[in-house]
Amino acid sequence: MIPAADPSRPTTNAAHVAAHAEARPRAVAVINGEEKRSYARLNRDITRFAALLFQCSLQPRDTVAIEWGDPYTHWAITLALETLGITAATFTRQEIPVSKKMFEQADFVLAMPGTTIPGVKRVHVMTPSWLDGNMGALPQRADFVMDAEYPVRIIQGSGTTGEPKAMIVTAQAQEYRLREKMTQIDLGQRSRTIHEMPFNVAGEFFTATACLRAGGACIWDPARSLTEAIEHHKATHGTLIIGSLMQSLARLPDDYKKPKKFSIRTFGGPLTEDLRNQALDRLADNVVALYGANELPGVAYLDPDGTGHIRPEVQVEILDEDGNPAVGVAGEIRLKAPYMVNGYINDPAAYKEKFRDGWFYPGDYGVMPEPGKLKILGRSDDLLNLNGVKFHPSGIESRLAQTDGISELCVTVLEGDERNNRVCICVVLEPGHDVSKIVPALNASLPPIMSDAFIVGVNELPKTANGKIRRRELKEMLKDAVLAAAKDEQ
């Protein structure tokens, strides 16, 4: 195994695969359903795909966007591109309409059969015959030397607040991200990480790659539920967005036997103490709550009370109402670290808004009760104002999600016609349930200030690629329904 990397002297991920293939050729690297691929097989396929890609006249520092398909094949191609000095990006077919910035940056696109991408000239279709091809040995190239600032990957933001923003991850930033994941969640050769999301979700890519570097096995099994896959494959680690964790807990059968060893890493929203306790009681022996962003991940690890311990590499400041750093008061959070991205691709307006004076402004509010600690109060966009009372919806959402018959839900605040602000609870029901039948149970769980809440049923909640709810879009969806309900009450 290659020693822990110095972020200023990065190595390719393929080099780590090759080291594992030499030391432990039969060790399992990837499990895809019932199919297992060894490190030796993965190493051969990386070399084979590198030779195939070399024939596409790609040059170092070119950018290639790859459509997500079979996880193993996608990953082998991604690692092969890195060995050629080519920057890789992942997209899904559903993301094409909102991935304009990424495609503007791409010099070449690898697409699945049947995919159409308007405005992109160099598109290569990954047919079965091409994927099975073999071009022999890869010619030696002396024009690629990976340094700290080498662009290795393009990632996209979640798009929670609008069009997803594309950004470049350098080799040094990748080393920091992988090192953080390997050490903080204790990845090793016996680790088996389970994955539900494609690699267009940056956290999923870096978690899987960290497991690969550590010599563990990465699992995809879409045919099984999360809990079935955990049990079947003896998974040891999983990364879940908060919404997915809530759904998994709500759907656990009564006779489900909690694994002896399974660690959950959460992101995508605050982890309430109640939700953490439910996860520890029924699903995992360890829950790691993380605060960070695609632009700067792994800022702090959160205690059950929501207080985060800031990592040594990260600088955090809270700005008061006058824009001055302050300790002990709530305000806007700004961040700085050596592994944060340097800005956005082809989006100067967003860059000017989020990156100022060497700091990144994520749009979150929090407080530093003491130096080195951070308590997240929520996103400025998510904080709800109910007639002067400000609160974050995660706590009440976690409580209401336990109501029988609810698949998922979202709590927001809307203005009714000629009324003060009122809470709106938007629910997606499980088959066979009716909104009118669950209203009494929901009302019984609401605090007095929300006693007049609207409860609206929808078929699905609008979400980003990594499962975060698009709350702005949801508010627009609900306006007509809430106005109609308000008129009925008059």
- List, as own/partner pairs, every contact residues 145-152 make where C-beta atoms lie below 8 angstroms and the sequence separation is at least 24, other chains included: 146/10, 146/11, 146/12, 146/85, 146/171, 147/10, 147/171, 148/7, 148/8, 148/9, 148/10, 148/172, 150/10, 150/61, 150/85, 151/61, 151/63, 151/87, 152/10, 152/82, 152/87, 152/88
Q: How many CA atoms lie less than 13 Å away from 98 in the CB half-sphere?
A: 17
Amino acid in the structure at residue 264: I
Amino acid 26: pLDDT: 97
Helix ranges, 215-332 (H): 226-233, 242-250, 273-282
Q: What is the CA radius of gyration of the chain?
A: 23
Is residue 302 within 8 Å of residue 289, measured between CB atoms?
A: yes
Long-range contacts of 111-120 (CB under 8 A, 24+ apart): 111/67, 112/67, 112/69, 115/67
The neighbouring-strand residues paired with 220 are 32, 195
Walking along the chain (490 residues) 10 residues at a time, the average pLDDT comes out as 55 93 97 96 94 89 94 95 93 88 90 89 91 71 71 80 80 90 87 92 92 96 91 94 85 88 84 87 91 89 82 91 83 91 88 91 88 81 70 78 88 65 87 88 86 86 75 78 59
Give residue 278's pLDDT: 92
Instruction: Report pLDDT for 212.
Output: 95
Q: How far is CA 281 from CA 3, 184, 284, in A?
A: 37, 22, 7
pLDDT for 73 equals 96
Domains of the chain and any CATH numbers: 13-223 (3.40.50.12780), 292-379 (2.30.38.10), 384-489 (3.30.300.30)
pLDDT score of 370: 87
pLDDT for 418 equals 44
